[in-house]
Amino acid sequence: MNKNQLQQHDRDHLLHPFTDFHDLGKQGTRVITSAEGPYITDIDGHTMLDGMSGLWCCNLGYSRREISEAIYEQLNKLPFYNSFFQCTTVPSIELADLLSEVTPAGMNNVFFTGSGSEANDTNLRIIRRYWDLKDQPQKRIVISRQNAYHGSTIGGASLGGMSGMHKQFQALDYIEHIQQPYWFGEGGDMSPEEFGVYAARCLDEKIQELGPEKVAAFIAEPIQGAGGVIIPPETYWPEVKKVLDQYDILLVMDEVIFGFGRTGEWFGADYYGMKPDLMTFAKAVTNGYFPLGGTMVSDRVAEVIKAKGGEFTHGYTYSAHPAACMAGIVTLNILRNEKIIENVRDVTGPYLAKRWAELSDHPIVGEARTLGLVGALELVKDKGSRARFDDDCTAGAVCRDMSIKNGLVMRATGDTMIIAPPLILDTAHIDELVDKAHRALDETAKAMA
């Protein structure tokens, strides 16, 4: 099939995730056909630096044959076996060992799933099981944050705090949402430091309002990813820690994006010095080569759910799929052996911070922020008042299209441009990324004038 035929068949038969079907029908999809290193190429032969690592997952880029070969070998040896009914497979044991080594101290058990959404559903099941076994069945409520993203199953989307999603399904009734630590968008006249403390105190207020004896857990991404790369003010996590220390409430950190090196530490929890009870992972654990997710379970929780008898009536057919686990083993070994995360911390993270900050001088940029290898640009009409161009977020969509045309994949979340490039970028790639982003900003300014 040629490009037009592919687009027609796509329109006729494929319902895409998070897509306006009507718009898609008009414009036609971009058909991505190949990839190499940190670059992707479409069917027209247009090559782009992938500033989003696929969908926050291909952190080692697209050319790691060790991963695909390990998957292939595993598929030939033992393509599938489940881990139900007292069975197990060698790759699942090896990956569980490795994960226990690289995750924060005190996290030594894993429950495997097929995705991040499933893992957050698993978290809901583990949280309830834990409090039931602790004879505190009244602890049922989970607190999350507005504009959080925790996946797209009913459980994941209920935990998430995206209003557009909540309009299209009925959320679970035991999940509450509080203020997000989004200073640029919602900080008003407060300084970032004041606002960070304020947003953390909102957790305390909510716990007191609900009654601490009814609150089971608090879930949060270390940094909100899909919400717009919202890096909380430095005061936020220390204050959250103080709040949680006062109460007997589980902390779930959703590390689906920030796990495996994006901050320059292995996990966001390491970066912020937090001690989660449960930690969701997915995406980059296999470098995107095979679907796999899971939740890391702290010793505190694992001891309770392992010690008392009775079956945990939960699991997925593809929990601990052997080929997925092989992909995870090879990915983690590459991260370790090639010191990729140390390089983000010491070299490319600081370099991106320096170069990206230059974009804050651009007339339509209200804020340019980075941490490790993520970044965001807030597009504004007026820098002083942080006023946006319009209510439809036209500027974000224009900037994304200009960027793609210039050979850089940036994503738009409203009028916030975001990047999360592969962790293998070198400084020359970062120069290319920033220069292309700059050009996209110039063209956006022109188009919006």
Ligand X SMILES: *Cc1c(COP(=O)(O)O)cnc(C)c1O
Provide, rounded to whole angstroms, the least separation between the CB of residue 281 and ligand X. Answer: 9
Cα-based distances in Å from 271 to 132, 234, 237, 301: 32, 11, 10, 22
Provide, rounded to whole angstroms, the least separation between the CB of residue 150 and ligand X. Answer: 5
Angle between helices 65-77 and 322-337 (to 10 degrees): 150
DSSP annotation of 411: E
Question: Is the CB of 103 or the CB of 117 nearer to ligand X?
Answer: 117
Provide, rounded to whole angstroms, the least separation between the CB of residue 441 and ligand X. Answer: 26
Provide, rounded to whole angstroms, the least separation between the CB of residue 7 and ligand X. Answer: 25
Question: Is the CB of 240 or the CB of 398 nearer to ligand X?
Answer: 240
Q: DSSP alpha helices (H): ranges in 14-133?
A: 21-27, 53-56, 65-77, 90-102, 116-133
Contact footprint for ligand X (CB under 6 A): 115-117, 149-151, 221, 225-226, 254, 256-257, 282-283, 293
Whole-angstrom distance, CA of residue 284 vs CA of residue 32:
20
Whole-angstrom distance, CA of residue 415 vs CA of residue 392:
9
Backbone angles phi, psi at 182, to 5 degrees: -100, 85
Question: Is the CB of 160 or the CB of 185 nearer to ligand X?
Answer: 160
Closest chain position to ligand X (CB): 116
Provide, rounded to whole angstroms, the least separation between the CB of residue 159 and ligand X. Answer: 9
Q: Contact at 8 Å (CB) between 418 and 378?
A: no
Question: Is the CB of 221 or the CB of 277 nearer to ligand X?
Answer: 221
Provide, rounded to whole angstroms, the least separation between the CB of residue 153 and ligand X. Answer: 7
Question: Is the CB of 257 or the CB of 380 nearer to ligand X?
Answer: 257
Question: Is the CB of 226 or the CB of 398 nearer to ligand X?
Answer: 226
CA dihedral 318, 323, 324, 330 (to 10 degrees): 160
Provide, rounded to whole angstroms, the least separation between the CB of residue 120 and ligand X. Answer: 6
Whole-angstrom distance, CA of residue 322 vs CA of residue 92:
6
Neighbours of 399 (CB within 10 A): 26
Question: Is the CB of 92 or the CB of 295 nearer to ligand X?
Answer: 295
